[in-house]
Amino acid sequence: MKRKLTAAIGIAGLMVSIAACGGSSDKAGGSGADELTVWLTVDAQNNWPQLVKDADAALKKKHPGVRINHEYYGWPDKNTKLDAVLATDKVPDVVEMGNTEMLGYMVKGAFAEIDPSKFDHSDGWLDGLKASVTYDGKTYGVPYYAGGRVANWRKDVAAESGIKKTPKTYDELLSDLDRIQQKQGGKFSAWYQPTRDWYAGMSFVYDAGGAIAEEQGGTWKGALSSPASIKGLKDFKHVIDAYMHGDKTKDESDRYIVYGQGKSAMIFAAAWEGATSADPKNDKTGKLKDNAVNFVMPGPSGKNMPVFLGGSDLAIPVKSGAQELAAEWINDFAGAKGQKGLMAKGNLPNNKSDLDIQKKDPATAVPAIAAERNWFVPMAPGWGQVEKAQVLQTMLQNIGTGKQSVEAAAKTADAAIDKVINNK
């Protein structure tokens, strides 16, 4: 997956008239009972167009004469266009959303509630994906596919330090990295870990049993200054201090490019990043193709590191006039048959039973096993405001650069979270 999944929940003033709309399927808006309009991103158009055609054919077989219109959008401009049409009565009937984008729209009432039992594998949706379509105990979307995070390691650099295999435990990992760091010198990053990468930073927090925020009695509060979260943040700081010798104010957006420059031995990143670094146009060493290998990231807890699950969901706007058809099309596209097609294209599936299949295939075992232990953002009404303010990135940068102690930075972050996380 060569895209960064971000929470672009900029939907202030999203819809003037949504509050007046109910959740039934006999809407005046949308395409109408015999017509369906589907909005997907260009990922489907470019990478699995046959799956779209197959879903269309399945729906048309059940409903002869139905018309299906497709529109494809790039990630940067999709939500701007969606926000504009959601304020009108001419809405798409199915829309693809990045899973971190869902929350703000669910809070605003933009999507129709669905019955999960009508969708294949809903009883086994991956936990992080299920969380992304659930708000206030109700379900407002269907997980489409997922992408996880893995460690990627240069076995040639490891071999220079006498290391012949990837580490299985966190203690082994740190021992190996210490040897690599000593061998390569102080300008080399044994582990290139951008400080502002909150997906990695929060993996340490959740591995330690901490959390970004927790709900108590219907109210959310920041939890980064809890003892467990502090331990996770200190584990993260150790990595930055010991092995990250690049710019400690950077985020992860160009990590694959930096890795391709040959100044680091390891990254913990989205599964596609290692392969992209090894692409000849990015690999400045000429060695990554044969030497960069993925492995499951071990965590300090002794378990596999919990990873953030990025991915996409499919939702039905509440104003759609063809909600029942839309639900059928979604199940034809992202149901049991569709998942097999998505897996064949290198995606993680939306459910545990298909993930078990991938775990047994050497070609997909690493990302599949890594995805088993996962986390997702707090499903709080004001979470989008937390992300927009970059609270986590600022905290991690202050910790990594030494501007604040771990305890002080976590306390500051909790205070910032508490100000907005309960706001709709």
Q: Going by DSSP bridges, is the β-strand pair 292-295/94-98 parallel, antiparallel, or unpaired?
A: unpaired
Which tokens sit at 234?
A: 């200190």
- Is pTM, for the whole model, over 0.85? yes
Give percent of the chain above pLDDT 70. 92
pLDDT of residue 180: 98
**Phi, psi for residue 35 in degrees, rounded to 5:** -145, 145
pLDDT of residue 33: 65
Query: Across the beta sheet with 67-73, what order do the strands follow?
Result: 67-73, 35-41, 94-98, 310-315, 142-147
Report the distance separating Cα 253 and Cα 4, nearest Å: 8
Closest CA to 38 of 81, 92, 88, 83: 92
Q: What is the pLDDT of residues 9-37, one digit of tens each?
A: 333 333 333 333 333 333 445 555 689 99
Report the distance separating Cα 201 and Cα 135, nearest Å: 25
Q: What is the pLDDT of residues 264-318, one digit of tens each?
A: 999 999 999 999 999 999 999 999 999 999 999 999 999 999 999 999 999 999 9
Cα 241–242–245 angle (5° rounding)?
75
Only one residue has tokens 């219907």, namely 218
Integer angstrom CA distances of residue 347 from 1, 130, 309, 339, 344: 8, 17, 12, 9, 7
Looking at residue 120, its amino acid is D
Contact 123, 288 (CB under 8 A): no
pLDDT of residue 185: 96
Stretch 37-44: mean pLDDT, rounded? 96
pLDDT of residue 166: 97
Which residues are 213's β-sheet partners? 222
Stretch 370-397: mean pLDDT, rounded? 96
Which tokens sit at 421?
A: 């996380």
Q: What is the pLDDT of residues 65-92, one digit of tens each?
A: 999 999 999 988 899 999 999 999 899 9
Q: How confident is the model at residue 321 (pLDDT cuts 50, 70, 90)?
A: very high
Integer angstrom CA distances of residue 312 from 73, 207, 225, 249, 327: 14, 24, 31, 29, 16
Q: Going by DSSP bridges, is the β-strand pair 67-73/35-41 parallel, antiparallel, or unpaired?
A: parallel
Q: How confident is the model at residue 6 (pLDDT cuts 50, 70, 90)?
A: very low
Stretch 155-170: mean pLDDT, rounded? 97
Closest CA to 211 of 225, 199, 191: 225
Integer angstrom CA distances of residue 112 from 77, 89, 97: 23, 14, 14
Residues 6+ apart with CB under 8 A from 361: 368
Q: Is the dihedral of CA 158, 159, 165, 169 positive or negative?
A: negative
Looking at every residue in the chain, the average pLDDT score rounds to: 92
Kindly give the residue spans of alpha helices, DSSP state H, lying in 8-162. Answer: 42-47, 49-62, 75-86, 102-107, 127-132, 155-160
The three-class DSSP label of residue 407 is: helix
Stretch (H or E) spanning 71: strand 67-73
Kindly give the residue spans of alpha helices, DSSP state H, lying in 133-220. Answer: 155-160, 170-184, 198-207
Q: What is the pLDDT of residues 180-194, one digit of tens each?
A: 999 999 999 999 999
